[in-house]
Structure 1
Amino acid sequence: MTFDQLKPMVESIVSNTQQTADNRLFEICQLLETHVVYYNWVGFYFRNGNKEELVLGPYVGAPTEHTIIPFGKGICGQVAVSNKNFVVPDVSAQDNYIACSISVKAEIVIPIFVNGKNIGQIDIDSNTADPFTKADEVFLEFICAKVSEIL
């Protein structure tokens, strides 16, 4: 399924006010993990109140022990500090990478902004080396903008 085909499905999930925000986030994770073949773990991390750390939110994929990530640590922690997208084509080449699974080859993390403030991010792991393109970044930025409307 193409990103253009997935966009209206994301919009439908986001606009379903009968569901809680967490349920809608989980549905987005399921949608992406199911329909993008190289998205093997899809989840959200959010700033933990005023603490300089991220807490794991809804996700789909293998269980992770990384439920709390300090700012600056790993790819997610770096995005919390930089406020910029981070695409990692080869996680083994990253010094500050937190390994979740030996099968993960690549990662992409896109921040979520609400009123100009970085409040969280979408994190995607892939078991395929170097799968992410600019199209993935643009699509995930779209998702983060939509998600920001329900947070």
Structure 2
Amino acid sequence: MSFEILKPKVTAILMQNHISRDEKLFEICTLLKNTIDYYNWVGFYFRNGEKEELLLGPYVGAPTDHTVIPFGKGICGQVAVSNQNFVVPDVSDQDNYISCSFTVKSEIVVPLFVNGANIGQIDIDSHVLNPFTEADERFLEFVNQEIAKMF
């Protein structure tokens, strides 16, 4: 399914008034994981108040022990510091990578900004080497821009 077809589906999820923010985020995770074949784990991490750490939010995929990630640690922690997208074609090439599973081959993390502040990120793991393109980045930026309207 193309990203252009997914955009209105994301927007429709976020416009639902009868479910909570976390339920909306979970529905987005489910939509992305179920429609993009190389998205094997989709989740959100959010800054823990003023602490320099991320807390796991809604996600879909294999359970993870990484429910708290310090800033600077792993791909997610690095994005919390850099405020930049981070695409990792091959996680085995990264020195500062937190291994979630031997099946994870690549990762993409895109920060979520509200009023210019990085409040969290969407994190996607793939069991495929180097599947993420610029189109993935632009789509995930769109997803986060739409999500930011809920805050």
Coarse TM-score class (shorter-chain normalised) = over 0.9
2:99 paired residue number:
99
Q: TM-score, normalised on structure 2? A: 0.99
State the Cα distance separating 1:17 from its structure 2 match. Answer: 1.6
2:26 paired residue number:
26
1:36 paired residue number:
36
1:44-102 Cα distance to aligned partner (Å, 9 max, x none) = 00000110000000000000000000000000000000000000000000000000000
Q: Which runs of structure 2 are paired with 1:51-66 in the superposition (5 Å)? A: 51-66=51-66
Distance 1:77 1:17 in 2: 32
2:124 paired residue number:
124
Structure 1, unaligned stretches of length 5 or more? none
- The answer as to 2:10 corresponding to 1:10 is yes
With 131-140 and 14-23 compared, the bigger mean Cα shift is at 14-23
Distance 1:11 1:73 in 2: 32
Distance 1:113 1:49 in 2: 14
What's the secondary structure of 1:108's corresponding residue?
strand
1:109 paired residue number:
109
Letter in 2 for 1:32: L
Distance 1:17 1:127 in 2: 34
State the Cα distance separating 1:111 from its structure 2 match. Answer: 0.2
Aligned length: 151
State the Cα distance separating 1:150 from its structure 2 match. Answer: 1.0
Distance 2:143 2:17 in 1: 17
Q: TM-score, normalised on structure 1? A: 0.99
Identity %: 67
What's the secondary structure of 1:120's corresponding residue?
strand
1:24-56 Cα distance to aligned partner (Å, 9 max, x none) = 000000000000000000000000011000000
Distance 1:108 1:69 in 2: 16
1:4-31 Cα distance to aligned partner (Å, 9 max, x none) = 1100000000111211000000000000
Letter in 1 for 2:57: G
What's the secondary structure of 2:22's corresponding residue?
helix
Give runs of ≥4 in structure 1 deviating > 4 Å.
none
